Structure 1
């Protein structure tokens, strides 16, 4: 059975430490999952204008709909954001705001964040975890925060492996949930009129 893993990186720079962490989390998850895994990476930086358009109009632009569908169709999700003002980035929150209602409900999610210093590591438990809990996602116990000095040490790899193992476990025990489009089978207008 093939599992689909959506990986969302909200890094703004090129190259991005958030993207680097997202790639390492995805690679560790692929190693930990016994099934085949189809990894689909989304870099929000390239979709910033589409995000604003979706927020202003209430509808995603045609070129942005496949990005939202990737998240909706995924069996699991890895999300990584840079830390700004002790929280997730505005770009990241804008993306979460345009996701359809219930898209991540029941979906296993591994949260990650990057920042210049370890002082901001609580962003995982005070900003990201409550956000995804509110959205009814299943957030794995271990979140991964990477400060600048973490990239040279060995503890980051251990945390990545532990978090990836937890996500792999959740992917293994959960049945795939298929989101249905609420507009796929609309009630005919004539039927709506006949009821009054």
Structure 2
């Protein structure tokens, strides 16, 4: 199951339009791999009042915001798309990810997208969005999708946008369907995956480093 987070403010919204294109391409890429995909959309514009209330009350969420947070926490992957405001993601976009549990999307694959009126803002994803999700310890897909107004008009720009969406969706789908393999080739269950994540992030070094003399003995063939 993936959650598509769209921070567009207009109706209709180019941000929502891009998010839908990214979700459709991901659905097609996952289906091509023989898997089914459940897609849920979160329009942050509809949660703006609840997000503001959570800040004003010291973090007390409303039922609608609680459902959104639970949906995010249970997602196998996230598509996150924001319009560009003042050279960065929107305040609504940032506020939503401020109110969720910062640990809830750790190790979750995230496909990033952004929209703006001009291509001059195309690097916003790299200098603003990707660091945000790195801080949240999510796994960001290498290809991100930026769309300027001209990219929605068809022609060469539209074909290039479609190509970027396809490439990003393919990378995203590969992360979604990848199954960690356990002992004897059995696929790990969800609880096993969580334990694997904990072990990977909390590697013990209690035994300390191997003594240099011991390393030399092994190099010389001694027991």
TM-score range, shorter chain: 0.7 to 0.9
Write the deviation string for residues 102-134 of structure 1: whole angstroms up to 9, x where unpaired: 111000000000000000011110000000011
Contact kept in structure 1, 2:109 and 2:140, CA below 8 Å: yes
What is the alpha-carbon distance in structure 2 between the residues aligned to residue 60 and residue 102 of structure 1? 17
Contact kept in structure 1, 2:47 and 2:64, CA below 8 Å: no
Determine which structure has the larger helix proportion and give its number: 2
2:170 equivalent among 144, 162, 165: 165
What is the alpha-carbon distance in structure 2 between the residues aligned to residue 138 and residue 174 of structure 1? 15
Match of 1:183 in 2: none
What is the alpha-carbon distance in structure 2 between the residues aligned to residue 47 and residue 103 of structure 1? 19
What is the alpha-carbon distance in structure 2 between the residues aligned to residue 150 and residue 174 of structure 1? 35
Match of 1:184 in 2: none
Q: Gapped runs of 5+ residues in structure 2? A: 181-188, 195-223
Match of 2:12 in 1: 15
Match of 1:31 in 2: 28
Structure having the higher Rg: 2
What is the alpha-carbon distance in structure 1 between the residues aligned to residue 110 and residue 144 of structure 2? 10
What is the alpha-carbon distance in structure 2 between the residues aligned to residue 40 and residue 174 of structure 1? 22
Match of 1:56 in 2: 56
1:155 aligns with 2:160: yes
Match of 2:112 in 1: 111
SS in 2 for 1:63: helix
What is the alpha-carbon distance in structure 1 between the residues aligned to residue 76 and residue 129 of structure 2? 19
Change (3 A) 1:177 1:11: farther
How far off is 1:63 after superposition? 2.4
Name the count of aligned residue pairs. 177
SS in 2 for 1:40: strand
Where relative contact order (Cα < 8 A, 6+ residues apart) is larger, the structure is: 1
SS in 1 for 2:38: strand
Change (3 A) 1:173 1:17: same
Q: Hey, which bits of structure 1, 4+ residues long, moved more than 2 A? A: 174-178
Determine which structure has the larger strand proportion and give its number: 1
SS in 2 for 1:42: strand
Contact kept in structure 2, 1:75 and 1:177, CA below 8 Å: no
Change (3 A) 1:169 1:113: same
Match of 2:3 in 1: 6
Q: Gapped runs of 5+ residues in structure 1? A: 181-196
How far off is 1:168 after superposition? 0.2
How far off is 1:177 after superposition? 5.4
RMSD: 1.6
